[in-house]
């Protein structure tokens, strides 16, 4: 497993709830892959993972892409996030991937996607996020 700035940060409770775990990262490229657990408790009445839970997974993939790219110096506060739901997500493993498309002085732009275990793209997202010094944001 590659060492990243995430190793120095305690996993927040919301990430633990989602089953968040780092799978791979290329910090110099602003790319990251995160594993999640789509729990049955996350399902809507139709038996699919509720969209808000998928959105949280996307948000919890795109922010860390910036964090690892900046070696933990910059934390993100989401300004906008657009999500496209492409296929129903069933309970089970879900993979999140994100890449930083532009890192400015105060704002970052990131694209992400969620995939089912079989490679089907479940959802895509793009975000703009305010950049905050980690020392000022994380307590």
Q: What is the pLDDT of residues 38-60, one digit of tens each?
A: 999 999 999 999 999 999 999 99
pLDDT value at residue 1: 62
Q: Distance between CA 56 and CA 18 in Å, rounded?
A: 8
Percent of the chain with pLDDT over 90: 88
Q: How confident is the model at residue 7 (pLDDT cuts 50, 70, 90)?
A: confident
Q: How confident is the model at residue 137 (pLDDT cuts 50, 70, 90)?
A: confident
Task: Say what the pTM is.
Answer: 0.95
Instruction: Give the domains, in start order, of the chain with CATH numbers.
Output: 11-137 (3.10.129.10)
């Amino acid at each position: 497993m590659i060492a990243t700035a995430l190793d120095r940060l305690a996993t927040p409770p919301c990430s633990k709830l989602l089953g968040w775990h780092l799978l791979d990262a290329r910090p110099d490229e602003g790319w990251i892959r995160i594993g999640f657990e789509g729990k049955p408790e996350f399902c809507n009445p139709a038996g699919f993972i509720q969209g808000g839970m998928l959105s949280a997974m996307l948000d919890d993939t795109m922010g860390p892409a910036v964090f690892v790219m900046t070696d933990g110096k910059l934390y993100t506060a989401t300004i906008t996030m657009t999500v496209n739901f492409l296929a129903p997500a069933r309970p089970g493993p879900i993979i999140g991937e994100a890449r930083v498309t532009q890192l400015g002085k105060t704002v970052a732009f990131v694209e992400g996607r969620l995939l089912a275990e079989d490679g089907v793209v479940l959802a895509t997202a793009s975000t703009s996020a305010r950049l905050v010094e980690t020392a000022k944001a994380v307590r």
